[in-house]
Structure 1
Amino acid sequence: MILLSGATGKTGRHVVDRIIADELPARAWVRNPAAADALRAAGLDVVVGDLGDETLLAGAMDGVTRALLLAANTPAQLEQERRFIAAAESAGVEHVVKMSAIGADAGADAVLKSFHGQSEDRLRGASMAHTIVQPNFFMDNLLNVASTIAGQGRFALPMGAGRVGPIDVRDVAEALFISLTRPGHENRTYLISGPDLLSFADMAGVFSEVLGRPVTYVEQPPAEFREQMIGLGLPAWNVDAMLELFALIAQDRNARVTTEFREITGREPRDLARFIRDHAAAFESA
């Protein structure tokens, strides 16, 4: 039995799709009861609740041999991940795969990178096998600015001239799925990226080429981004945590491209042009 936390999230849902397609026995952990019925209909066992519930965690680990640790970015993330790892260890789970982040380090200044780093350290010290997957910048984050790309031919973000190796979330999910279900990935840490090292101005150029019209990148002041996100209803903690990550990008700290996705999967990752074509309806002007 495989336990899948974060089963309905941006990344987890793609892992679930692969699990269902391969008809593997799995238990999906979801926070929203409304998501449970569809997963049950697809043949999965389902647990509904919060990862901070230790009693629920202990029950969810019953009969589990492999588990995916994929927690939401909240102030409670670190404690939830620690409890998940402890519950897995107590239950005799054989292998835990954790989705982490590029630059994860317990001593990192950015709170989310610190959370991931501390969780990684706890997992490496546990009795079961582990795999840690550290993705670079998600291409899918660009869907958050799709409306201005479509309507104004521009997008604004506080990334400066920083470069990233953007990766499609479908490829992140593929790396997690294979690490979880195939042998040979035990006790490994993978830093995965897309094939190209790109600044956000470079990305605007790719958008222009694929969409056949000019798209420009505008460097947005962090304070303006913060005000905009708070105005949209995002919690201040999450916005500030994002801005810490964006500041590192602006400092070129995510300027990494690796071949480790190919090492895991045996194929090349999708490039940004492919991502844009696959999501063309979101980016095309009305």
Structure 2
Amino acid sequence: MTENTKTTLVLGGTGKTGRRVANLLTTHALPVRIGSRTGQPPFDWADQNTWAPLLHDVEAVYLVFYPDLAFPGAAETIRAFTTLAVHSGTRRLVLLSGRGEEEAQASEQAVKDSGVDWTILRASWFNQNFSEHFLLGPVLDGEIVLPAGDVAEPFIDVDDIADVAVAALTSDTHTGRTYDLTGPRLLTFADVAAEISKATGREIHYTPVTPAQYAAAAAAHGVPEEQIAALTDLFTRVLDGRNAHLTDGVRRALGRDPRDFTNYAHDTATTGIWNP
């Protein structure tokens, strides 16, 4: 690990990957600044006036964009932020991107064009989506409903993503590299439901639906129309089998294998979060 006495800004620092990245950096006794809408001062991707106050004396930035890099306008926002960050003295950028999201590549290019050290992390679906995000409710209800058919996905644990991100933020070894990050095996959503069922002792089912059915259900739960359209389109394209293969990104970055979904399911079940 290189000497780094300046601050690392962790955007999305209260989210799934950002929280873990911040904790790891703190463990290494490195100064950390959290960027979030609830922080002090706050950070909001939709309000450029909130950006500059967090960039003072920042050496490196962990970039997590909300709601998703595949959404319209994301690349322009990322380019504007990276330009400001570099002008403010930032010398290293690590971007969390989506595996198989063609629209996200424009944001990746904006980071590559920044003129400073960069690393791109293209992650597959998170294990923790089933325990810390929008699929927790369906797991508690006993039914995971998605427009995913029987496609297989190499689910990745966010602890692995955080480990790779911290390595990239603190070492020159990963400069100029793009890592495709996957778990160690392919699982369908039916497989995932079976894994969680085994870990919890409850019956969890997976129900495939059409994109139209998924959109209607999301609307019934109050999800904004513009988000429904973007998410449905994203799920339909990314879950078309394009990501149904494994990569060695975690091993290339860390020299070890990624965590298996079975271990994640067992450890998560012991916390009680999947108990209705």
TM-score range, shorter chain: 0.7 to 0.9
Q: CA RMSD in A?
A: 2.2
Matched, 1:223 2:212: yes
Matched, 1:139 2:127: yes
CA contact (8 A) 1:102 1:134 kept: yes
Cα separation, 2, equivalents of 1:182 and 1:237: 39
3-state SS of paired residue (1:71): coil
3-state SS of paired residue (2:58): coil
Cα separation, 2, equivalents of 1:49 and 1:129: 23
TM-score norm. by structure 1 comes to 0.83
Match of 1:30 among 31, 36, 45: 36
3-state SS of paired residue (1:133): strand
Structure 1 segment 129-278 matched on structure 2, within 5 A: 129-143=117-131, 144-152=134-142, 154-212=143-201, 214-278=203-267
Which residue identity does 2:22 align to in structure 1? Answer: V
How far did residue 82 of structure 1 move? Answer: 1.5
Identify unmatched segments of 5+ residues in structure 1: 37-46, 106-113
Residue deviations 1:178-200, cap 9 Å, x none? 21112300010000011111111
Which stretch shows the higher mean deviation, 117-126 or 190-199? 117-126
- Against the structure 1 CA distance between its residues 25 and 252, is the aligned structure 2 distance closer, same or farther, given a 3 Å change threshold? same
CA contact (8 A) 1:166 1:272 kept: yes
Q: Hey, what does 2:15 align to over in structure 1?
A: 9
Cα separation, 1, equivalents of 2:13 and 2:239: 31
How far did residue 203 of structure 1 move? Answer: 1.9
Matched, 1:20 2:17: no
Which residue identity does 1:283 align to in structure 2? Answer: W
Which residue identity does 1:60 align to in structure 2? Answer: L
3-state SS of paired residue (2:16): coil
How far did residue 56 of structure 1 move? Answer: 4.0
- Against the structure 1 CA distance between its residues 182 and 217, is the aligned structure 2 distance closer, same or farther, given a 3 Å change threshold? same
CA contact (8 A) 1:248 1:254 kept: no
Q: Hey, what does 2:107 align to over in structure 1?
A: 119
How far did residue 268 of structure 1 move? Answer: 2.1
Matched, 1:77 2:66: no
Cα separation, 1, equivalents of 2:50 and 2:141: 46
Cα separation, 2, equivalents of 1:129 and 1:59: 22
Which residue identity does 2:24 align to in structure 1? Answer: R
CA contact (8 A) 1:52 1:83 kept: no
Q: Hey, what does 1:110 align to over in structure 2?
A: none
3-state SS of paired residue (1:282): coil
3-state SS of paired residue (1:189): strand
Which stretch shows the higher mean deviation, 51-60 or 193-202? 51-60
Which stretch shows the higher mean deviation, 164-173 or 261-270? 261-270
Identify unmatched segments of 5+ residues in structure 2: 1-6
Cα separation, 2, equivalents of 1:229 and 1:207: 23
How far did residue 123 of structure 1 move? Answer: 1.5
- Against the structure 1 CA distance between its residues 16 and 164, is the aligned structure 2 distance closer, same or farther, given a 3 Å change threshold? same
Residue deviations 1:17-61, cap 9 Å, x none? 1122222112222212xx44xxxxxxxxxx313234445433432
How far did residue 252 of structure 1 move? Answer: 0.5
